[in-house]
Structure formats: structure tokens, C-alpha cells
């Protein structure tokens, strides 16, 4: 108990020290020189989530390299540092404190992963350091009227609760569902998605059969059998990556034939590789918030630019959605720098610049931070998993405003 109390006091002291110096104009300019601006993140680049964290960071570095090669922004090049937290919240907090207090970064770019984001929210809101783009849909990020240090938070990806509502709207409008099955892990992603699912289902008068599973369960056969015994019309797999794959495999083994819809987080070719055999039994769909082709199916100019730059680092990144997400994170951060321009670059001037008008998402849509609005992007599409010669997601429904989908 004594050790816990001491550790708590040390964290409070560290936060107070940063906050106290942050009250001065100089501290809010930390990480900024005449020639450089220092940013960073802590992300999983080893362990089970390395397949997400590594390409994500490569997307970030590819964009910064392009900007630096062109001379930087307002005479400053962007320096980038990173720590590997192995998708562990405790390590994420430790490294985040190091980035703020020791490395003195100006901003986080691509604050990564539900465990780390959840563990660092209170600390970073207290400090007030800008966080541009979160690689998670953590429901705690949703804020319609941010104040104080929360104004320094800039979520871009859809928030889980909103996506849960979209899942139900798709199930009803696309498949005529009257009874929906839900498999969700006892974790923030599952609980956030379920909250949105239950909210929209109640509005539409749709019955929901929800079964909770452990996030690290490697056998979800009981959950799958429970769902099938209820004769549902659509199954919503309200989970990310590994638990979503386990759930879909369990549904296939149990004899499911109803279509399944999962989170945008899983809309990657690598995810299809893990569920390939299930596609012989039923269709699998995923939400998405990017649109990399036009209405005729041709690559957009934004995608062409992305591919040209990231393939300088690794040819395999061309179609990697996690690298695309990192690219977007860096782009949105740089748009804020460009808006500040040659004016003094401080935390406050950066925040004000980001709130001036909607920020363009280079591979689809925009995000609006005006008036303290912090709700992520408000547009989604629907993709269907295919596996012919190679795994691929094809567009089933184009990018639409979430309000339009819900209507």
C-alpha cells in the first residue's frame, strides 16, 4: 500500500511539474526550435500487435520524410521519435511521460492503441500537450465541447459508439435484420461498440442477442452456438483484430450462414487471410472510413501520392491500411503546422489553427474540430471481404456521412 501511495505521489508531482512549466509561454513551445519541431509516439512495434504498429509508424515516417525533403514547414523540418510499448498500457504511460518530460516533444502524432490511450488520457489532458490522431476508437475520446487540456486532443478515426450505431443501421438497411446477434469482448472496444449497437437497436425496435467473451479467449464456440441458437439475421462481431478473427472462425465452425459485420479496425487484407475458410460459409463485411478509389474504381490522386512515397520504404506498404492510417496522422498534424505558418508555434496557436475549419483527411472525408468538437470523422463506407487470387476488401456501400447512414 505504501509503494502504491509513493508511486501515485510521484506521478502527481511529475504532472504538476509539467503543468507548472506549461503555464509559461516557453513550456508550451517545447520541442520547437528555429529549424525543427520534435514529435513522437509510443506504439506496439513488437508482440502480437506489431503487424499494426510497425506499418502505422512507417506511414508516419514516410509522410514526414516527404515534407522534410520539400524543406519542412515554415523553415522547420520534423523530427520523430518512438518507443515500443508492446500494446501495454503501463508501459505506454511510462513512455508517454518520458516523451513529454524528458524528450520534451511538441506533440504526439499517432497516439497508439486502446490500452495506452486509456492509461494516458488523464495525464495528457492535465499536461495539455497536443495529440493528433489516435490509433483507436476509444469511447473516452468523444467530446462535443472540449475545454482546457482536452482541447489538445484531436481524434480522427471513428469512435466505437458511433460505429456500433452504424453497424445496426447497415444490418437493417442492407439485410433487413429484425434480430441481431452480437459477439463482443469484455474490453473498451467491445463495450463501446455494444453501447452504440444497443442504442440504435432500441431506436429501430430491433432485438439484440449479445454474448460477452474474454478479450484473450482462443475458443468462442460457446458464444457462436448461443448466437446461432437464436436464429439471428445478422451477426455483429464487435471486436478488434485477434478476438474478431477467433469469433468469425467459431461462427463458421458452428455452421453460421448469416452475414457478419465487423469493425473498421479489421478492414485489412491481413485480417482476411485469417478468416479465409469462413468466407466459404457466409459473407463478412467491415465498416471503413477511408475511400482510396473513385466511383469508377480508379485510384485517387491522394492514393497515388501515398503509394509513390511509402513504396520508397517498403513495396508491401502500398495497400496496407495501417500504413495509410499513419500517413493520415502525419498529414493532419502537418496541416496544423501549415496553418500556423510563420507565426509563433505554441500549443495554443496550434490548437486554435486546428479549430479554424475542417481538416482534410487525405484518403477520404474530413474532420471538424471547431468549437471544441472532438468526435472523430463522421463518414463511413461498407466493405465486403473477398479471396480470389488474393485477399481484398471490395466496396459494397460508398463513403457516406454517418448521419445519412443512420437515417
241-264: string of b/e by CB count within 10 Å (b at 16+)?
Answer: bbbbbbbbbbbbbbebebbbbbbb
How high is the pLDDT of residue 365? 80
What is the pLDDT, as a whole number, of residue 238?
A: 97
pLDDT given for residue 139 in this prediction? 85
Tens digits of per-residue pLDDT, 72-111? Answer: 999 999 999 999 999 999 999 999 999 999 999 999 999 9
CA distance 15 to 13: 5
CA of 91: how far to CAs of 42, 94, 98, 214, 379, in Å? 9, 5, 11, 22, 33
**Domains along the sequence of the chain with CATH:** 2-158+302-376 (3.40.50.2300), 161-288+380-406 (3.40.50.2300)
Q: What's the full length of the chain, in residues?
A: 407
Which pLDDT band holds residue 251 (cuts at 50, 70, 90)? Answer: very high
Percent of the chain with pLDDT over 90: 74
How is residue 279 annotated by DSSP?
Answer: G
- What does the pLDDT look like over 110-165, one tens digit per residue? 999 999 999 999 999 999 999 999 999 888 998 889 999 999 999 999 889 989 99
Identify the CA nearest to 399 among candidates 353, 358, 365, 367. 365
Looking at residue 9, what is its pLDDT?
42
- The share of the chain scoring above pLDDT 70, in percent, equals 92
Amino acid at each position: 500500500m505504501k509503494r502504491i501511495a509513493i508511486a501515485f505521489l510521484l506521478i502527481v508531482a511529475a504532472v504538476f511539474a509539467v503543468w507548472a512549466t506549461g503555464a509559461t509561454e516557453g513550456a508550451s513551445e517545447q520541442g520547437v526550435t528555429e529549424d525543427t519541431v520534435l514529435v513522437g509516439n509510443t506504439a506496439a512495434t513488437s508482440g502480437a500487435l506489431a503487424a499494426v504498429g510497425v506499418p502505422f509508424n512507417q506511414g508516419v515516417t514516410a509522410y514526414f520524410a516527404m515534407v522534410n525533403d520539400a524543406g519542412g514547414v515554415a523553415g522547420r523540418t520534423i523530427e520523430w521519435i518512438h518507443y515500443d510499448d508492446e500494446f501495454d498500457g503501463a508501459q505506454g504511460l511510462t513512455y508517454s511521460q518520458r516523451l513529454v518530460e524528458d524528450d520534451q516533444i511538441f506533440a504526439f502524432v499517432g497516439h497508439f492503441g486502446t490500452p495506452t490511450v486509456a492509461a494516458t488520457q488523464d495525464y495528457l489532458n492535465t499536461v495539455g500537450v497536443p495529440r493528433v490522431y489516435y490509433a483507436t476508437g476509444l469511447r473516452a475520446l468523444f467530446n462535443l465541447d472540449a475545454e482546457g487540456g482536452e482541447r489538445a486532443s484531436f481524434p480522427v478515426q471513428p469512435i466505437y459508439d458511433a460505429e456500433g450505431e452504424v453497424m445496426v443501421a447497415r444490418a437493417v438497411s442492407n439485410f433487413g435484420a429484425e434480430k441481431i446477434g452480437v459477439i463482443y469482448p469484455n474490453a473498451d472496444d467491445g463495450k463501446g461498440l455494444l453501447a452504440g449497437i444497443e442504442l440504435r437497436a432500441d431506436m429501430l425496435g430491433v432485438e439484440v442477442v449479445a454474448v460477452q467473451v474474454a478479450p484473450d479467449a482462443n475458443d468462442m464456440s460457446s458464444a457462436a452456438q448461443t448466437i446461432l441458437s437464436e436464429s439471428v439475421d445478422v451477426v455483429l462481431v464487435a471486436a478488434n483484430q485477434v478476438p474478431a478473427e477467433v469469433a468469425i472462425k467459431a461462427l463458421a465452425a458452428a455452421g453460421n450462414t448469416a452475414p457478419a459485420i465487423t469493425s473498421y479496425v479489421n478492414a485489412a487484407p491481413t485480417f482476411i487471410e485469417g478468416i479465409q475458410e469462413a468466407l466459404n460459409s457466409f459473407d463478412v463485411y467491415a465498416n471503413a472510413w477511408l475511400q482510396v478509389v473513385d466511383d469508377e474504381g480508379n485510384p485517387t490522386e491522394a492514393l497515388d501520392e501515398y503509394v509513390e512515397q511509402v513504396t520508397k520504404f517498403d513495396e508491401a506498404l502500398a495497400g496496407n491500411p495501417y500504413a495509410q492510417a499513419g500517413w493520415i496522422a502525419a498529414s493532419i498534424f502537418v496541416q496544423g503546422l501549415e496553418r500556423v505558418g510563420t507565426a509563433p508555434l505554441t500549443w495554443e496557436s496550434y490548437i486554435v489553427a486546428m479549430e479554424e475549419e475542417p481538416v482534410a483527411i487525405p484518403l477520404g472525408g474530413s474532420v471538424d474540430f471547431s468549437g471544441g468538437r472532438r468526435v472523430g470523422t463522421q463518414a463511413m463506407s461498407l466493405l465486403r471481404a473477398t479471396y480470389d487470387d488474393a485477399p481484398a476488401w471490395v466496396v459494397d456501400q460508398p463513403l457516406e456521412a454517418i448521419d445519412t447512414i443512420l437515417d
